[in-house]
């Protein structure tokens, strides 16, 4: 009887234990499902909201990015571009001596991005430079003869047009100012003539200035997505498949990818595209200031504490900055919603604007923060050989005892800077030809420059000779 009672108690205790364990498991599962539902609710709130910068961002998108959607949206809108050029060549010294030259055909290749259903394409200027004919091949192996609509050599952007009785797939523009460092991106192009190639990476930096490597002033998006020869002119897109840049350059010692590639921001490319279609050329709007980016070294020389921003050395009395109240010694901290920490931040944002645009500019004047409304004016400056030049004021020339020349407004050419060329110098001759106005520079765009003459601030002539 006692053994029977013990067996019953044992069965009872086991039953109770099983019930308790079951309750604990059920409670845990319920709580897990509640947390999962709560997390999903947060995702739904985020995706249905208008604010793209939200503390409840879609974590799955960043932890496990899915590139397939972006690839599918873009791969058929990126084309192969073939540039055929005819160059004169001589087979011997006698041919060269007697002027007997032959036409030699050379072929270059790159990529392009279809940005409208009627066949407009954005590519790099260097992809189609000196082309006698341009052929575009789409991802479905259809080839078209392309027309060069226009280009901007300074930003390395060119616009092509192909015609057919079909609607082409195209990539829509995104706002490149809203991109963030660390954001996932895809590079789509045709490296080494391998069509329809997609590589992935992140944005490594923004407003990257390559003036130390190239005399043209730029403000690039830097990425570690693999970009090689042939990718030039291709698309840099975000994870949604929208265009944030035109792949343009790599930084490498062997012309191969080593982790650094650069793209013209889509806001700049789009503005050039729209300007060329509407006006036939690029409309540049300027603040009308000259100056320098701040760092600890020049801040100490200037006797100020700020080490970020754009320090104004001079304002043009006829331009928008001066008319709005900006003066020498002011520091530009922000334009609209864009923080200005260096010159490429400033130039990159202004390159996406036009004459007549009104900007909200935040400045620091001796520690006092001020907001000014500035209207951009039509640029009277030209870009040449890494310098920004303007027609010289007659009185300014008389003070230097000269009759002609262009005044240097900004010098971004590191070679000329090392030779001592500074703002205020006057360019008077190129290749021993007199320069009287900015229009005289057009004849030197394709010419090899071996000599430039300047007049310095004291009226002395400096002749620079290049090998």
- The catalytic residue among 204, 219, 232, 261 is 232
Phi, psi for residue 197 in degrees, rounded to 5: -100, 130
430/418 Cα distance (integer angstroms): 19
348/441 Cα distance (integer angstroms): 24
- The catalytic residue among 126, 204, 352, 379 is 126
152/351 Cα distance (integer angstroms): 12
- The catalytic residue among 152, 156, 224, 330 is 156
Q: Is 126 a catalytic residue?
A: yes
Asked if 312 and 289 touch (Cβ cutoff 8 Å), the reply is yes
Phi, psi for residue 152 in degrees, rounded to 5: -130, 100
DSSP string, 347-377: HHHHTT--TT-EEEEEEEETTEEEEEEEE-E
Strand partners, 235: 188, 246
Is 456 strand, coil or helix? coil
- Helix segments in 106-164, DSSP class H: 125-128
387/383 Cα distance (integer angstroms): 6
Q: Is 156 a catalytic residue?
A: yes
List the helix and strand counts (H, then E) for the chain. Answer: 11, 28
Q: How far is CA 239 from CA 79, 203, 245, in A?
A: 20, 12, 13
String of b and e for 132-164 (b: at least 16 CB within 10 Å)? eebbbbbbeeeebebebebbbebbbbbbbbbee
Task: State CA 310 to chain mean position distance.
Answer: 19
How many other CB atoms are found less than 10 A from the CB of residue 87?
A: 12
Catalytic positions, written as ranges: 126, 156, 232
């Amino acid at each position: 009887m006692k053994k029977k009672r013990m067996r019953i108690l044992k069965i009872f205790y086991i039953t109770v234990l099983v019930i308790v364990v079951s309750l604990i498991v059920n409670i845990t599962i319920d709580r897990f499902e509640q947390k999962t539902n709560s997390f999903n609710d947060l995702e739904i709130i985020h995706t249905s909201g208008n604010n793209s910068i939200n503390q409840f961002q879609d974590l799955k998108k960043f932890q496990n990015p899915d590139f397939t959607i972006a690839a599918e949206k873009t791969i058929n809108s990126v084309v192969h571009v073939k540039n055929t050029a005819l160059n004169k060549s001589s087979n011997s010294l006698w041919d060269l001596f007697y002027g007997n030259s032959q036409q030699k055909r050379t072929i270059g290749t790159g990529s392009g991005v279809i940005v409208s259903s009627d066949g407009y394409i954005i590519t790099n200027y260097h992809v189609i430079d000196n082309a006698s004919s341009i052929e575009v091949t789409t991802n479905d192996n259809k080839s078209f003869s392309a027309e060069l609509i226009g280009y901007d050599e300074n930003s390395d952007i060119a616009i092509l047009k192909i015609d057919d009785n079909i609607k082409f797939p195209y990539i829509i523009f995104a706002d490149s100012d809203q991109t963030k460092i660390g954001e996932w991106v895809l590079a789509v192009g045709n490296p080494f003539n391998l069509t329809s190639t997609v590589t992935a990476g992140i944005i490594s930096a923004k407003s990257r200035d390559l003036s130390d490597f190239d005399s043209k002033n730029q403000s690039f998006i830097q990425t570690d997505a693999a970009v090689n020869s042939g990718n030039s002119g291709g698309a840099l897109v975000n994870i949604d498949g929208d265009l944030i840049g035109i792949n343009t350059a790599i930084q490498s010692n062997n012309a191969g990818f080593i982790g650094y590639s650069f793209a013209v921001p889509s806001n700049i490319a789009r503005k050039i595209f729209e300007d060329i279609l509407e006006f036939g050329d690029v409309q540049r709007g300027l603040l009308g200031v000259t100056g320098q980016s701040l760092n600890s070294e020049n801040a100490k020389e200037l006797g100020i504490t700020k080490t970020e921003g754009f320090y104004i050395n001079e304002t043009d009395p006829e331009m928008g900055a001066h008319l709005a109240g900006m003066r020498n010694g002011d520091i530009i901290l922000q334009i609209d919603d864009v923080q200005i920490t260096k010159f490429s931040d400033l130039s990159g944002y202004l390159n996406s604007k036009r004459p007549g645009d009104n900007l909200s500019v935040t400045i620091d004047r001796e520690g006092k923060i001020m907001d000014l409304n500035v209207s951009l004016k039509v640029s009277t400056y030209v870009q040449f050989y890494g310098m920004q030049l303007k027609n010289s004021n007659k009185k300014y020339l008389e003070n230097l005892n000269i009759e002609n020349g262009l005044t240097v407004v900004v010098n971004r050419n590191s070679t000329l800077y090392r030779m001592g060329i500074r703002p205020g110098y006057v360019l008077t001759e190129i290749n021993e030809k007199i320069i009287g106005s900015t229009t005289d520079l057009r004849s030197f765009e394709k010419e090899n420059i071996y000599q430039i003459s300047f007049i310095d601030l004291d009226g002395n002539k400096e002749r620079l000779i290049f090998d």
